[in-house]
Structure formats: C-alpha cells, structure tokens
Chains A and B, each alone.
Chain A
Amino acid sequence: MAKRVRAYVKLQIPAGKATPAPPIGPALGQHGVAIMNFVKEYNERTAAQTGQIIPVVITVYEDRSFSFVTKTPPAADLLRRAAGIDKGSNNPRTTKVATVTSDQIREIAELKMKDLNAVDMAGAVLQIEGTARSMGIEVA
C-alpha cells in the first residue's frame, strides 16, 4: 500500500506501561491513530523489558494507519543504571553526581550503535560521553 507519512513521532515510555493518558493519548490522538491498538501492541512487545524505558518510533500514514518499531533504551537511562543513580544533575556543569568508566561508556555505545546516527564506534562513544557530561556524570 502507498504509505505516505503524515506524522513521525518518537515516544519514550516505560516498557509494558503504555496507557492512553498523556503523553501517548495527545501525541497520537491528534493524528487519528487507534490509540488502544498501539497501547496493547506496545505493552505486549515490551512486557519482557519492564523496568526499562523503551523508546518507540511510530509512523502514522495519511490514512491514519500506523506502524512502529521499538528502539534500545535511551543513553541517559543506560547511563543512570551504569552510574547507579536515579537522576542526572540539575546543574551538570558544576555539580557532578556520579562517575562511569570508559568501559561502561563503550558498552553503552555498542548497545546503542544501531540506533545512533554515528558513523563509527568512536563517534558513538563521543555521543554517549556528551550525554554523560550533560547529566553531570564524569567519565573516569
């Protein structure tokens, strides 16, 4: 079918816990997407990853049908876990909240590689390090 796109939306939501409430309801409802179909499918497909944030990219077509693919957890989520913290720093330039090793950064970069717009592993590592810095996480 000729699927011309009317919207391309990425959502970051906890695996297995999608609901029709915000942000999903307003983000998809405005495009006429059958929200409950999405919610049901997403929760089924991500049930095994409960406890993680699983981003999902939804493509809405002109006739309001849609498709979606799930992605690897956000780098920020993986960094928080690696650093053993609940949240990033409120003032990342001056307040450092944790330290991760370059091995941990590399591990995250490898896991995220397929979802990053990096040309090689060195580029992916730089992106993850950048995210770490902006959360007040130092790299040892």
Chain B
Amino acid sequence: MTTSPTDDWLELAVEVHMEAVEPVSELFARYGFNEGVVIEEPYLQERDGDNVRVDTSRPVIIRTFLAAADADPAKLEEIRRGLFHLNQIRPVGELVITGRAEEDWAHTWKAFYQPVRVGRKVVVRPPWRDYEEAPGDVVVILDPGMAFGTGTHPTTRLAMMGLEAAITPGDTVLDVGTGSGVLAIAAAKLGAASVDANDIEPVAVRSARENVGRNDLTVAVRVEEGTAGADGPFPGTYSLVVANIIARVLIELVDGITTAVAPGGTLVLAGIIEGREADVIGAYAARGFTVTDRDQIEDWVGMTLRRAS
C-alpha cells in the first residue's frame, strides 16, 4: 500500500482475467466513489491507428477510487475478502492501493495544452492561453476537444506545412476530414478566398464549427457533414484540396478527393504511415496526379501533388 496521511483519495487496482471483469467491477462499484469503475482492456492496433481492437489474450486492470476519509480499514478488508472469494472462482491478482492527492480534475488536463507552432507560420493556441505574436505568425484559436486535430500530432503538422507551402492568396480550398477544423481555419487565415470543410463525424462538424466561430471566420469557412466528392455536401472543384486522414481512407476516397481538385490544382495529403506511401502514390498517380513535394516526421509522411491541367 503506497499511501500517506495527506492523500485525499485511494486508488484501488487489481489485474484480472477477462472473464472476471464483471464480478470484480460489480464488487468495486459497490464500494467505489460514485459507483465508478475504470476498466483498462489491453488493445491491439495497426501502426497508423487503423483497426483498434481489444486483445482478449491479456489480463485487464480494474480500478476504483475511495475518498480517503471514507476508506476505513473495515471497508478495505471487506473488499479484500470479496476479491479473495472471487479468486476461488477465477484468478484475481493482488489488490494494489495507491494514495492520490485531490486535484482540480476539471482543469488539470489544460496543462497539456500550450500555444504550439504547427507549421512554419501557423501557431495554434487554446482560448485560455495568451500568445505574443511574432511578425508573420498566423494564430489559430482552437479549443481542443473531442475532434482530432489539436495541432500536436505529426500528421497535423505535415498537413499544415504542406498547406502553407501550397496556398496562394485567392485559392478556393476544400478540407476533407476536417476534424477540429484546424486546417480549414488556417487556410482562411493564410489568404484563401473561401474554404469548405467536411467530416463524416457529427462531433467533428460541431467542433469545427465552434472553432470557426472562435476565429470569426463563419463567413469564409463552411463546415458540413458528409464525405468527399459527388455524394458529399461539396461536389464542386477547388484550386487546393487538403486531406489529412489515413492511407486506407485516402485510397478508398481517391475518386471523391481527386474529382474535387480542379485541373492544374494542388492536393495536400497527410496521415500516411511510411509503409503505405507507395500505395497512396499509386492510387493518385493512376488519376493523373504527380508528387511535387514530400516531407516526413517520425513514421508519418505528408505530400503535395499536382493535377495535370
């Protein structure tokens, strides 16, 4: 037991077999604060984030929390005894108790978010942080929430650098799979005449619209739910299209994305894991696109392509 008298909370954790998850959770919920239980199932996924699934071959960690003032030894003993009995039916690991200090949980996560330089010019800042702009900076205000694209990920940085290099003032821009709207907002601030952005996830559309509003761009940037191309909300053509998704989806959407690029127009792709680069290039080359620029951060690749005029 790792605790000290100043702890406000006790965290109880135990490692169990998949089949013991339900009864141990039930036991923990009986004693835990707000009946709350945390179940950490090990997972498997491909390197670019595709196909996340639970790994049923490994044990699961179950946690609950007790207010320290409320955690008398008798109660802990009852929990131990409960685990002991469950252990007679299916193996249950050792109970680990760790003291935790009270924190302002609603706000501590904000420490993770600082103004961050995403491209060469573009700086993303959360609404609650100040940032002193240097000459040439383009500041995007972004409330990091549920939608992907907080600016801290290599794929967002690659897409942003590609966008900055490719954009010409007056461009018409389409942002496919906009997430938080970070690229669409940056495009408008970098001089696009108009920006359309789509996403198939309603949460992303809502989040992107809120962020567009925060940056006072509701006239310049339109955000709609749906896919790219003729079946989506924006069936027209654009002088510049950006798509920061993953290789599998970029290949699946190749028709929708390529038809959105006007003849002679530019396409910025990101979110491509190193091993799938050739597949993506192959799919787009078959539709008359040539790679004009390429960049890499860690195992992620971003590229700029031009459509033949």
Contact = CB atoms under 8 A, between A and B. Distances in A.
B153 A14 contact: no
A66 B23 contact: no
A24 B36 contact: yes
A80 B48 CA distance: 41
Given A2-B300, A11-B37, A130 B145 contact: no
Question: Do most interface residues of chain A lie in helix, strand or loop, or is the interface mixed?
Answer: mixed
Interface residues of B, number: 75
B291 interface: no
Nearest to B10: A22
Interface string B53-96: 01010000001110000000000001001100110111000000
A81 interface: no
B180 interface: yes
B124 to A, nearest CB: 11
A73 B248 CA distance: 34
Contacts of A35: 105-106, 109
Given A1-B179, A53-B29, A59-B52, A20 B105 contact: yes
Given A29-B103, A29-B108, A76 B26 contact: yes
B270 interface: yes
Contact of A10 (B39, B81, B145): B39
Interface string A13-24: 110010111111
A23 B23 contact: no
Interface in B283-298: none
Interface in A99-132: 117, 127, 130-131
A12 B52 contact: no
A3 B43 contact: no
Chain A: interface size category: 35 or more
A15 to B, nearest CB: 11
Given A5-B52, A12-B39, A26-B100, A63 B26 contact: no
B308 interface: no
B173 interface: no
Contacts of B64: 23
B32 A23 contact: yes
Given A3-B246, A20-B106, 12 more contacts: A1-B149, A4-B49, A8-B40, A10-B38, A25-B106, A25-B108, A29-B105, A32-B109, A34-B109, A67-B146, A88-B27, A92-B85
Interface of B: 9, 11, 18-20, 22-23, 25-27, 29-30, 32-41, 43, 45, 47-49, 52, 54, 56, 63-65, 78, 81-82, 85-86, 88-90, 100, 103, 105-106, 108-109, 112-113, 143-153, 155-156, 177, 179-180, 201, 203, 244-246, 270-273, 300
The 8 closest A-B pairs by CB, nearest first: A25-B105, A2-B271, A22-B65, A32-B112, A76-B26, A1-B148, A4-B49, A134-B23
